[in-house]
């Protein structure tokens, strides 16, 4: 059944777990996410970005999620709009039936220029008022997450070095923001960034600024925190991509163990896009490179390889974040 983000995260907080929020653009991703959730009995958050709307079309994207809800009536599903750039776009998603929206007012409408605190409060409050009147939840963001901007300019292909100090969420500002907006969940910047190029050296275990999360939780004990840029950039998939014709430079993501640490301090929604892209790209490259598949024309077999790889990845995240068993 379709549920709001607030309903799901309140329950997750009671039981001290987090839910991975997977970005989707196509049917195979939706099916992988749902098959994995069904296998381990996990609730689901699926989210669509502006890029996903451009790729699939808003109507297809929405109906893919609604198909999942119909096919798996026993699994709670949140249909979330990721990084809504304006109140108008959030209103459209609410109207279309999304059960949760993110108003990303940390950036101006161009999604590039950092916005003022006052602007962020203003647009986020507007969305909260509309959304709550419809039973829809709102995620806000305070502090600037790394490389959304750089990602849009380069298509995500250029390694970007995040500047940790500049990006961290200020706890005082966060507390004021929550008070003035009435949001249901807060995206915080604690050292992650979007895309595959988060860290150029192997992360040493303290890559997230957990101390900042601890302070945030002391200031906001009832808030649900959202971690963006939470892909782990699996080295095994990176190697498979490169073994079968890819050319991805050395790069690292957020270790799953660090996310698990964050869950102790109120992280309840963990955004993952890049890892599914890596699993499907690696699985497709490997499948097509096999000698027995060189004459294969049934493209469903290729997509099946991608779907299987994504399903395995999703299930391991449900299990690691503790949402398995809670559908
Ligand atoms: O928020 C970032 C997500 O990874 C979405 O990326 O705009 O390429 O769909 P996208
Ligand atoms: P990744 O690029 O780390 O998968 O992050 C996705 C995200 O934060 C979507 O909002
Ligand atoms: Na989001
Ligand atoms: Zn994000």
Q: Are strands 185-188 and 224-227 parallel, antiparallel or unpaired?
A: parallel
Q: Residue 71: inside a domain, yes or no?
A: yes
Pocket of ligand 2 contains residue 25 by CB under 6 Å: no
Q: Is the CB of 210 under 6 A from ligand 1?
A: no
Tell whether ligand 1 has an atom less than 6 A from the beta carbon of residue 100. Answer: no
159: confidence class by pLDDT, cuts 50, 70, 90:
very low
Alpha carbon distance 205, 255 (integer Å)? 7
Mean pLDDT confidence for 122-130: 98
Token pair for 56: 């699939």
Alpha carbon distance 254, 274 (integer Å) = 11
Tell me how far apart the alpha carbons of residues 193 and 53 are, in angstroms, rounded to a whole number: 22
Query: Is residue 327 situated within a structural domain?
Result: no
The 10 Å CB-count burial string (b at 16+, else e) for 215-229 is bbbeebeebbbbbbb
Annotation marks residue 298 as catalytic: no
Is residue 150 predicted with pLDDT exceeding 50?
no
In angstroms, what is the span from residue 295 Cα to ligand 1's centroid?
34
- With bands split at pLDDT 50, 70 and 90, how would you rate the model's confidence at 166? low
Atom of ligand 1 nearest to the CA of 25: 9
Nearest CA to ligand 1 atom 9: 51
**How many A from CA of 223 to the centre of ligand 2?**
21
Closest among 6, 187, 213, 167 to 104, alpha carbons compared = 187
**Could you tell me if residue 91 is inside a domain?**
yes
The answer to whether 2 touches 313, Cβ cutoff 8 Å, is no
Q: What is the CATH number of the domain that holds 278?
A: 3.20.20.70
Reported as a single tens digit per residue, the pLDDT across 206-224 is 788 899 999 999 999 999 9
Residue nearest to atom 1 of ligand 2 (CA): 229
User: Is 104 assigned a ligand-binding role in the annotation?
Assistant: yes
SS3 2: strand
Tokens found for residue 5: 């983000």
d(CA 93, CA 327): 25
User: What is the C-alpha separation between 227 and 229, in angstroms, rounded?
Assistant: 7
DSSP element (H, E) containing 80 = strand 77-84
Residues in the chain: 327
Q: Which ligand is nearest to the CA of 271?
A: 2
The answer on whether 83 is annotated among ligand-binding residues is yes
Rounded to whole angstroms, the Cα distance separating 78 from 47 reads: 8
Mean of pLDDT over the chain: 93
**Among 29, 271, 275, 310, which residue has the most ligand 2 atoms within 8 Å of its CB, making it the best to mutate?**
271
Specify the residue with its C-alpha closest to ligand 2, atom 9.
Answer: 271
% of the chain residues with pLDDT over 70? 94
For the cut 80, the answer to whether the pLDDT of residue 161 exceeds it is no
Q: Token pair for residue 196?
A: 């595959």
pTM: 0.95
Q: CB of 82 closer than 6 A to ligand 2?
A: yes
Looking at the predicted structure, is the pLDDT value of residue 148 above 80?
Answer: no
Q: Which domain holds residue 134?
A: 5-321
- The answer to whether residue 102 is domain-embedded is yes
Report the distance separating Cα 238 and Cα 121, nearest Å: 40
CA-based nearest residue to 182, from 132, 118, 235, 247: 132
Q: Give the chain's domain count.
A: 1
Q: State the Cα–Cα distance between residues 230 and 19, nearest whole angstrom.
A: 12
Task: Tell which one of 194, 253, 269 to mutate to probe ligand 1, the residue whose CB is within 8 A of the most ligand atoms.
Answer: 194
Marked catalytic residue, from 41, 82, 170, 308: 82
| Residue owning the nearest CA to atom 8 of ligand 1 | 51
Of 115, 93, 32, 25, nearest to 64 by C-alpha is 25
Is residue 226 included in any domain, yes or no?
Answer: yes
Among 96, 233, 93, 89, smallest CA distance to 105 is for 89
Q: Characterise 181 by phi-psi region: left (phi > 0), alpha (psi -120 to 50), beta (else).
A: alpha
Would you call 176 exposed, middle or buried from its count of C-beta atoms within 10 A (0-12, 13-18, 19+)?
A: middle
Quote the tokens at residue 19.
């839910």
24 alpha carbon – ligand 4 mean position (Å):
13
Quick check: CB of 23 below 6 Å from ligand 1?
Answer: yes
DSSP character at residue 198: S
230 marked among binding-site residues: yes
Residue 326, in any domain of the structure:
no
What number is the average pLDDT over the span 286-309?
A: 98
Q: What is the pLDDT of residues 7-55, one digit of tens each?
A: 999 999 999 999 999 999 999 999 999 999 999 999 999 999 999 999 9
Q: Which ligand is nearest to the CA of 80?
A: 3
Instruction: Determine, yes or no, domain membership for 202.
Output: yes
Question: What's the 275 CA to ligand 2 centre distance in angstroms?
Answer: 9
Contact 271, 23 (CB under 8 A): yes
* Cβ neighbours of residue 77 closer than 8 Å, sequence gap 6 or more: 1, 2, 3, 43, 44, 45, 46, 65, 68, 69
Using an 8 Å Cβ cutoff, are 146 and 193 in contact?
yes
- From ligand 4's centre to the CA of 55, what distance in Å? 17
Q: pLDDT digit string (tens) for 89-118?
A: 999 999 999 999 999 999 999 988 899 999
Sign of the four-CA dihedral 229, 234, 239, 242? negative
C-beta of 141 in contact with ligand 1 (< 6 A):
no
């Amino acid at each position: 059944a379709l549920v709001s983000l607030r309903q799901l995260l309140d329950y997750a907080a009671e039981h001290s777990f987090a839910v991975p929020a997977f970005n989707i653009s196509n049917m195979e991703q939706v099916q992988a996410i749902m098959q994995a959730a069904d296998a381990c009995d996990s609730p689901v958050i699926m989210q669509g970005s502006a890029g996903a709307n451009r790729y699939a079309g808003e109507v297809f994207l929405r109906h893919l999620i609604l198909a999942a809800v119909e096919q798996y009536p026993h699994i709670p599903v949140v249909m979330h709009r990721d990084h809504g750039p304006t109140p108008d776009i959030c209103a459209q998603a609410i109207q279309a039936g999304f059960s949760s929206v993110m108003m990303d007012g940390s950036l101006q409408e161009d999604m590039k220029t950092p916005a003022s605190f006052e602007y962020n409060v203003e647009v986020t409050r507007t969305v909260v008022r509309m959304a709550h009147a419809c039973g829809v939840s709102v995620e806000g963001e305070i502090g600037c997450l790394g490389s959304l901007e750089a990602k849009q300019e380069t298509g995500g292909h250029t390694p970007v070095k995040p500047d940790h100090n500049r990006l961290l969420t200020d706890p005082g500002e966060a507390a004021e923001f929550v008070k003035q907006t009435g949001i249901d969940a807060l995206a915080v910047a604690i050292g992650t960034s979007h895309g595959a190029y988060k860290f150029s050296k192997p992360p040493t275990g303290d890559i997230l600024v957990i101390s900042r999360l601890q302070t945030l939780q002391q200031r906001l004990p009832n808030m649900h925190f959202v971690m963006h840029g939470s892909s782990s950039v699996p080295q095994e998939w990176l190697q498979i991509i490169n073994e079968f014709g890819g050319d991805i430079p050395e790069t690292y993501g957020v270790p799953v163990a660090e996310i698990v640490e964050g869950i102790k301090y109120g992280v309840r929604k963990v955004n993952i896009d890049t890892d599914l892209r890596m699993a499907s790209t690696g699985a497709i490259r490997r499948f097509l490179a096999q000698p027995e598949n060189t004459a294969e024309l049934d493209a469903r077999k290729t997509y099946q390889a991608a779907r299987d790889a994504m399903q395995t990845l999703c299930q391991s995240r449900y299990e690691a974040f503790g949402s398995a068993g809670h559908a």
